[in-house]
């Protein structure tokens, strides 16, 4: 059996088309475009690349983006001060602090300085707390795990009563992915670096989400026949045969697992495109919240 391949780009493109239409409607009706402020501290090349991509995609859908860069040795006060200033700026609907921050900064304090209604990454402790609690609803859900769930929905996965295994427990992917699955009434096992018998645990899964950052770790014999496999991982590995000398692979050994799984995302090309689409969607939602609050820029 060869698995159904769940591609992210067509879904992300569809989301983007809807967002473009909605931002045009907001501009026509209220005279402003939704605005996203990005905060980048330091000179990590990958972070610069991610922020550039996010700002380019904003432009494509009619969202204004305001880029703010601080040096690697910026003080806690300076970063929090900037975030607070953006929090009070009516032209800014969403604030994105690119992670990771340099080690001397208190990430939780910086994220907590973002007003809840501008927390488009969904990493504010209160938004994550609400996601973790029964009967509570966060204003925003973190974009990568939300994208993973959306792709499962697109592929027709059944969540109710399903055995789901999440590989990884990070604040930005594994943990929120597990919480989103619990909300959908799956029975969830969260694995991490101390989990014993990983292949055996994974083999139980009707839904398997891999977010560990270990190139092609999940092999065919870890996967239950017919399972839905979502590969969040994105790992650079040597590829001497290519011009660049490297290539990107996921956490799942795609070629062998696709022969066992019922449906599988490629990496690259699966969850990746969903992350920025989710950020744009959340920024649009933040602009709608601002309108509901009567905070329309002059």
Choice from 201, 211, 227, 230 touching ligand NDP (CB under 6 A): 211
Print burial letters for 210-245: b (CB count within 10 Å at least 16), e (below 16).
Answer: bbbbebbbbeeebbbeebbbbbbbbbeeeeeeeeee
* Residue 112 vs 170, nearer CB to ligand NDP: 170
- Residue 290 CB, nearest distance to ligand NDP (Å)? 26
Return the residues of window 224-263 that contact ligand NDP according to CB under 6 A.
232-235
Asked about 239 being catalytic, the answer comes back as: no
HSE value, Cβ hemisphere, 13 Å, CA-based, for 287: 28
Could you say which of 212, 218, 227, 286 contacts ligand NDP (CB under 6 A)? 212
DSSP bridge partners of 37: 66, 95
Give me the sign of the Cα torsion angle 285, 286, 292, 297: negative
Q: Pick from 293, 298, 142: which is nearest to 232 by CA?
A: 142
Q: Which of 118, 119, 121, 206 is catalytic?
A: 121
Dist. CA 36–CA 59, nearest whole Å: 10
Give the integer Cα–Cα distance in Å for 107 and 115. 15
Q: How far is the CB of 139 from ligand NDP (least distance, A)?
A: 20
C-beta of 178: minimal distance to ligand NDP in Å?
A: 11
End-to-end CA distance of the chain: 59
Give the nearer residue to ligand NDP in terms of CB position, either 12 or 261: 12
Q: Minimum CB separation from ligand NDP for residue 32, in Å? A: 29
Nearer to ligand NDP, 166 or 290 (CB): 166
Pick one of 35, 174, 176, 278: the residue that binds ligand NDP (CB under 6 A): 174
Active site residue 76: no
* Pairwise CA distance, residues 296 & 9, whole Å: 33
Q: State the binding string over 105-144 for ligand NDP (x if CB under 6 A, else -).
A: ---------------------------------------x
- What is the spatial distance between Cα 288 and Cα 284, in angstroms, rounded to a whole number? 6
Residue 275 touching ligand NDP (CB under 6 A): yes
Nearer to ligand NDP, 102 or 115 (CB): 102
Residues whose CB falls within 8 Å of the CB of residue 247, separated by 6 or more in sequence, listed in order: 236, 237, 239
User: In the complex with ligand NDP, which residue's Cβ is closer, 79 or 209?
Assistant: 209
What phi and psi, each to the nearest 5 degrees, are found at residue 95?
-120, 125
Q: How far is the CB of 222 from ligand NDP (least distance, A)?
A: 11
State yes or no: is 54 an active-site residue. yes
Contact residues toward ligand NDP (CB under 6 A) are: 144, 167-170, 172-174, 191-195, 198, 211-214, 232-235, 271-272, 275
């Amino acid at each position: 059996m060869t698995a159904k391949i769940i591609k992210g780009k067509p879904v992300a493109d569809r989301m983007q088309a809807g967002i473009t239409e909605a931002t045009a409607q907001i501009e026509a009706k209220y005279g402003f475009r939704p605005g996203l402020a990005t905060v980048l501290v330091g000179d990590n090349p990958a972070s610069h690349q991610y922020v550039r991509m996010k700002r380019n995609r904003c432009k494509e859908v009619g969202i204004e983006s305001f880029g703010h860069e601080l040096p690697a040795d910026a003080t806690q006060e300076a970063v929090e001060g900037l975030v607070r200033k953006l929090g009070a700026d009516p032209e800014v609907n969403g604030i994105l602090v690119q992670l990771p921050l340099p080690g001397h900064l208190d990430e939780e304090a910086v994220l907590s300085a973002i007003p809840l209604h501008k927390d488009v990454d969904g990493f504010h402790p209160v938004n994550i707390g609400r996601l973790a609690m029964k009967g509570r609803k966060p204003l925003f859900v973190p974009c990568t795990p939300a994208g993973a769930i959306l792709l499962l929905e697109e592929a027709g996965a059944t969540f109710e009563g399903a055995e789901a295994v999440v590989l990884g427990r990070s604040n930005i992917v594994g943990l929120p992915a597990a919480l989103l699955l619990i909300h959908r009434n799956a029975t969830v096992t969260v694995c991490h670096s101390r989990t014993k018998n990983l292949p055996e645990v994974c083999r139980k899964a009707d839904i398997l989400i891999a977010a560990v950052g270990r190139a092609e770790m999940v092999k065919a014999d870890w996967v239950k026949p017919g399972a839905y496999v979502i590969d969040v991982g994105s790992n650079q590995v040597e590829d001497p045969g290519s011009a660049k000398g490297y290539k990107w692979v996921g956490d799942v050994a795609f070629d062998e697992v696709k022969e066992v799984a019922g449906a599988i995302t490629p990496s690259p090309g699966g969850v990746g495109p969903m992350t920025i689409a989710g950020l744009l969607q959340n920024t649009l939602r933040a602009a709608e919240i601002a309108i509901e609050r009567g905070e329309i820029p002059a």
